[in-house]
Amino acid sequence: MMRLLFIDPHVRFVELTYGSFSFVTVITGKQVSMSISVIEERILELLSSNKNFVKLSVDNEQSITLNALYNDRTKADVSDEAKWTSSDEGIAVVKDGVITAISSGEVEIIAEYQGKTVTIYVTVTK
């Protein structure tokens, strides 16, 4: 469990654990009230997509959902926040998780979010 340590002007030590706290102190002769929230840092543990392999015909589209799982076990759809790239935009392009087939071939669509990546393998046919 993380703890946060404050030293007030009177050299008293106050230890805080997770939660919200209020305190009052005197700074340069004035009373000051503060509230603080101590939260656990939310760290991305896993990035996954709803599809790993996609087959499309030319001019068709497929939406991909990108899911983040954090250390506090919360989940989030991060499709709109991710950086999406195509290994060959002549075959397929991608924007905000929507893949659009351009011409026949195979391409990798890569989604990157907070340093983690997911690859979706796409085959485009006529």
Question: 119 or 32, which is more confident?
Answer: 119
3-class secondary structure per residue, 85-98: EECCCCCEEEECCE
Whether the pLDDT of residue 21 is over 70: the answer is no
For residues 48-77, average pLDDT: 95
When the pLDDT of each residue in the chain is averaged and rounded to a whole number, the result is 85
Of the candidates 125, 126, 94, which has an alpha carbon nearest to the alpha carbon of residue 110? 94
Sheet holding 53-57, edge to edge: 53-57, 116-125, 105-113, 83-86
Whether the pLDDT of residue 27 is over 80: the answer is no
CATH class of 44-125: mainly beta
Task: Give the residue extent of every domain in the chain.
Answer: 4-38, 44-125
pLDDT in tens, 95-116: 999 999 999 999 999 999 999 9
Whether the pLDDT of residue 26 is over 80: the answer is no
What pTM was estimated for this model as a whole? 0.69
